[in-house]
Amino acid sequence: MTTITKINLGKNGPLVSKLGLGCMRMSSVWGGLANDENESIATIQSALDSGINFLNTGDFYGHGHNEMLVGKAIKGRRDDAFVSVKFGAIFHNGQWIGLDLRPVAIKNFVNYSLVRLGIETIDLYQPCRLDGSVPVEDVIGTVADLIKEGKVRHLGVSEITVDQLREANRVYPVSALEIGYSLADRQIESDLLPTAKELGIGVVAFANTAEGLLTGEMKAPLSADDYHNHFSRFQGDNLIKNLETVEVLKQMAKEKGYTPTQLAIAWVNAQGDHIMPLVSMSRRSRLPENMEAMEIQLTAGEMDMLNTHFAPGSILGGTYLQR
């Protein structure tokens, strides 16, 4: 049976599972349909049973639906779950319309989240992004005040720059940085990752399969209604060439007896003890596969091949991860 190891989330931080469960896709995303609620709740509970205690949600996922879903799943077993919540994004009719990071808004957001989740304290609370609309010290200072009030335990940040990370950490110790990271998206290796390590900040790495590119299941051309079409990485010749690049990962996976997705997760997992792969799941059937990925050992030669083949710049075009 696969055993999920525990790591400290940041220097002297809380003990969490090395594999995190992303709950976003259990709710309606970008106007799409929500998954079966009973199956989603069962997936969260099965993850908790398996030792995965890090649950990632956001108050804007499904306009609050995701938090209510997580709340139902952890009812009666609060001590088993470490709940991470992002805030700040504003959506209307399924469309992103901006950020609200004002202190008065944050104080409002947190209370609604606590009610929807059915808990008294959020374990990790983080702005989903910082855009300069509100000074960093005001955003982070507000979360620090919520920690003092007992409504939040730890501060996190998400999708920010090195300068913003340093400034946030000066205001209040940051426990975790949530950021997109995969074989196909390695731009953070030059600055953000070294800075997080220097400051003793844990890294919660999402988009391990680069929005499906590394699963080995994507084919060109995409259907006209596929949301990937919004990004240049998945358009025209870019997609064709990118899928050719992924063939190396597919071949290695085949030789090792795993799936490309598992190898993509294993590569992220191997980048450091302070890095947690955050994997989105909405079905219990995905749990064994993703947990098994955490036990895959990549040899020095395999790591060298992957690092060389997927060197920064080898994947053409951008996504929302490049801003």
Choice among 61, 125, 172, 258 that is catalytic: 61
Which of 27, 55, 22, 71 lies closest to 124, judged by CA? Answer: 55
Question: Residue 306 domain-assigned?
Answer: no
Identify the pLDDT of residue 280: 94
Residue 55 within a domain: yes
pLDDT of residue 33: 67
pTM, to two decimals: 0.95
- In terms of C-beta density within 10 A (0-12 exposed, 13-18 middle, 19 or more buried), how is residue 121 classed? middle
- Separation CA 108–CA 122 (nearest Å): 14
Please give the pLDDT value at position 322.
63
Instruction: Let me know if residue 226 belongs to a domain.
Output: no
Q: What distance in Å separates the CA atoms of residue 240 and residue 236, rounded to the nearest whole number? A: 7
172 given a catalytic annotation: no
- Please state the domain count of the chain: 1
Tokens, residue 74? 């952890």
Is 132 within the bounds of a domain?
yes
Residue 111 lies in a domain: yes
Amino acid 30: pLDDT? 61
Q: Are 202 and 273 spatial neighbours (Cβ–Cβ below 8 Å)? A: no
Q: How many CB atoms lie within 10 A of CB 117?
A: 27
Beta strand pairing status for 54-58 and 20-22? parallel
Residue 230 lies in a domain: no
Residue 121 falls inside a structural domain:
yes
pLDDT tens string 151-168:
999 999 999 999 999 999
Number of H helices, E strands in the chain: 10, 12
Domain of 121, CATH number, reads 3.20.20.100
Lowest mean pLDDT among 66-70, 102-106, 230-234: 230-234
Look up residue 182 and give its DSSP letter.
B
Upstream peptide bond of 127 is cis (omega within 30 degrees of 0): no
What gap in Å lies between CA 250 and CA 196, rounded to an integer? 31
- Quick one: average pLDDT of 164-178? 98
CA 170 – CA 179 distance, rounded (Å):
20
- The conformation of residue 185, written as its DSSP 8-state character, comes to B
The mean per-residue pLDDT over the stretch 299-321 comes to 92
Residues 6+ apart with CB under 8 A from 92: none
Give the mean model confidence (pLDDT) for residues 23-31: 82
Distances from the Cα of 258 to the Cαs of 42, 238, 302, in angstroms? 25, 26, 14
Residue 206 lies in a domain: yes
Residue-number span of the structural domain to which 92 is assigned: 6-211+260-297
Confidence category of residue 28, pLDDT binned at 50, 70, 90: confident
Query: Shortest CA distance to 44 belongs to which of 16, 19, 72?
Result: 72
The predicted structure's pLDDT at residue 64:
94
Q: Are 299 and 267 in contact (CB under 8 A)?
A: no
Average pLDDT over residues 278-307: 96
Angle between helices 162-171 and 136-149 (to 10 degrees): 40
Neighbours of 104 (CB within 10 A): 9
Nearest CA among 164, 166, 207, 194 for reference residue 271: 194
